[in-house]
Structure 1
Amino acid sequence: MVCATFRFYDGLNDFLARERRGREFDTACARDATTKHMIEALGVPHTEVELILVNGVSTGLDTILGDGDRIAVYPRFSSLDVTDTARIATRPPGRLRFVADAHLGGLARLLRMAGFDTIYDNEFDDGAVEARALEEGRIVLTRNRELLKRRAVEYGAYVRALKPQDQLRELFERFGLAERARPFTLCLHCNAPLRIAAKEEVLDRLPPLVRAVQHEFSTCDVCRRVYWKGSHWQRMAGMLDSAAGARAGED
């Protein structure tokens, strides 16, 4: 058995027992325990960590801890300048894709609205979310910290906000989504790509008032839903502008 000293910073303290927040504390570690094992044993999902310093040196999640080591753990939004240090990857390379747990259906719909491939099913259990994330290289979205600690979950985000619109703003800031968004290109219901459709093609699927006043449409070839730029579209566009402008307003 070895003993190490930990200090967690900023929002990571939310995951700790109250008596350990905002201060250094000593804790016993199993022999050959890694930084990832101990960070998660103390309550912090590894997906929330961007920088780990062991005795002042930046390191990864697989470093084996020794007796007397001092470990500082920082989240993504720490004010610390980490430009020249080895940061832990918090997102997969390439296009961002998400899988939302069964409690985040509203957020999944808003992410699709913004053009981000997001799978969701209210029947998903934690195992199903973990499997889809592993198989398809998706970022797990959840308010369940234990899900983020599962062995196969490499990338994820603990969603702090409670309301879907606030959750969307949170993810826009965390992952820099404003520059990647492609609004109104995915079906809100089944996540399939939308295509532009002539009015004559979708005429029999339109309510009478829409048929009379709207002329531009898109449709989903999977579920056959039709979309147009009505009042609901305007509200959603305003919501996206608000989410995209949240970070810009802070610069």
Structure 2
Amino acid sequence: MVTVTLRFYEELNDRLAPALRRREFERACPPGATARQVIEAFGIGLDEIELILVDGESAAFDRVLREGDRIAVYPVFEAFDVTPLLCVREAPLRVTRFITGGHLGALARLLRMAGFDTLCGAHLSSSAIAGIAARERRIVLARERALLARADITRGFLLHSETAVLQLRKIVERLDLKRSVRPFTRCIHCNATLRGIDDRSCVRQRVPASVYDRYEHFSICDDCGRVYWPGRHWNAIAACLADTELA
């Protein structure tokens, strides 16, 4: 048999026996066993795992384990982008989604401009925001400590900056989201994904004639029907994103 040392992090511990949680422990496995086989023996699905480190180096699921290997297993990362470290898959598992509390409507629009799925909870109760965040795995953004102090909110970000642009910059820096930015792919009004228009004639009756004659490329929101084009408003958005060093 081969003896290895394992350590599981964050919510992966919920799948372990209490005596094994949040600490290193040894496990014997047959010669030729892979990281995948050892991990699956604990009932943890591979779709729950984002990163495996063996002796401090990123490893793939099919890594054959050797005597004395020290294995660290991590779930989906929210705090930083692990793309450069990945060996188990081509792209990170995380899909960063937000819900804002209080008076953060301007921030919600900016996040949508940057391509992030963001719900505005300005008119929702604290319990409703917590419920949505839990069901949809959203990060709660708030300026009130009381909201984030709720026991049922496990992923939140307290904002101190006064302007939406500064708030956006802080979120992107803290959560390492630069690689995830997809400007102008989401409707800033209703949060739905925009669809590019191949045949612009289909929006002829939905935009001013001067706009139709001037621009070749349009996008449409199939949910609320709004049409977008690279005009002055688009340029203003681009300038705003440039101020946050995202564009």
TM-score range for the pair, normalised by the shorter chain length: 0.5 to 0.7
Retained in 2: the 8 A contact 1:172–1:244?
no
Structure 2 equivalent of residue 203 of structure 1? 204
Retained in 1: the 8 A contact 2:107–2:165?
yes
Take 1:91 and 1:179, find their aligned partners in 2: how far apart are those partners? 13
User: Given the superposition, is the C-alpha separation of residues 196 and 176 from structure 1 closer, same or farther in structure 2, using an over 3 Å criterion?
Assistant: same
Q: Which runs of 5+ in 1 are unaligned?
A: 1-58, 61-82, 247-251
AA of the residue aligned to 1:123: H
The equivalences for 1:59-208 within 5 A come to 91=78, 94-197=94-197, 198-208=199-209
User: Given the superposition, is the C-alpha separation of residues 157 and 136 from structure 1 closer, same or farther in structure 2, using an over 3 Å criterion?
Assistant: same
Report the Cα offset of residue 242 of structure 1: 2.2
3-state SS in 1 of match to 2:182:
coil
3-state SS in 2 of match to 1:204:
helix
Report the Cα offset of residue 90 of structure 1: 7.9
Retained in 2: the 8 A contact 1:113–1:188?
yes
The equivalences for 1:228-243 within 5 A come to 228-243=229-244
Structure 1 equivalent of residue 5 of structure 2? none
Take 1:178 and 1:239, find their aligned partners in 2: how far apart are those partners? 15
Structure 1 equivalent of residue 66 of structure 2? none
AA of the residue aligned to 1:217: F
AA of the residue aligned to 1:91: E
Retained in 1: the 8 A contact 2:102–2:143?
no
Report the Cα offset of residue 223 of structure 1: 0.2
Take 2:149 and 2:77, find their aligned partners in 1: how far apart are those partners? 14
User: Given the superposition, is the C-alpha separation of residues 192 and 202 from structure 1 closer, same or farther in structure 2, using an over 3 Å criterion?
Assistant: same
Take 1:144 and 1:177, find their aligned partners in 2: how far apart are those partners? 23
Q: Which runs of 5+ in 2 are unaligned?
A: 1-21, 24-55, 57-73, 80-92
Q: Which runs of 4+ in 1 moved over 3 A?
A: none
AA of the residue aligned to 2:78: R
Take 1:195 and 1:172, find their aligned partners in 2: how far apart are those partners? 25
| TM-score (normalised: structure 1) | 0.60
AA of the residue aligned to 1:138: R
AA of the residue aligned to 1:204: Q
Take 2:133 and 2:101, find their aligned partners in 1: how far apart are those partners? 11
Report the Cα offset of residue 245 of structure 1: 5.6
RMSD between superposed Cα atoms in Å: 2.7
Percent identity between matched residues is 41
Structure 2 equivalent of residue 221 of structure 1? 222
Structure 2 equivalent of residue 6 of structure 1? none
Take 1:157 and 1:182, find their aligned partners in 2: how far apart are those partners? 21
Take 1:112 and 1:245, find their aligned partners in 2: how far apart are those partners? 13
Retained in 2: the 8 A contact 1:90–1:155?
no
AA of the residue aligned to 1:170: K
Residues 47-68 of structure 1, C-alpha deviations (whole Å, 9 max, x = no match) = xxxxxxxxxxxx89xxxxxxxx
More deviation, 200-209/219-228: 200-209
Take 2:158 and 2:216, find their aligned partners in 1: how far apart are those partners? 41
User: Given the superposition, is the C-alpha separation of residues 187 and 153 from structure 1 closer, same or farther in structure 2, using an over 3 Å criterion?
Assistant: same
Take 1:174 and 1:207, find their aligned partners in 2: how far apart are those partners? 41
Residues 110-141 of structure 1, C-alpha deviations (whole Å, 9 max, x = no match) = 00110100011431121111111111111000
Report the Cα offset of residue 203 of structure 1: 1.2
Retained in 2: the 8 A contact 1:177–1:244?
no
Report the Cα offset of residue 212 of structure 1: 2.1
3-state SS in 1 of match to 2:242:
helix
More deviation, 218-227/198-207: 198-207
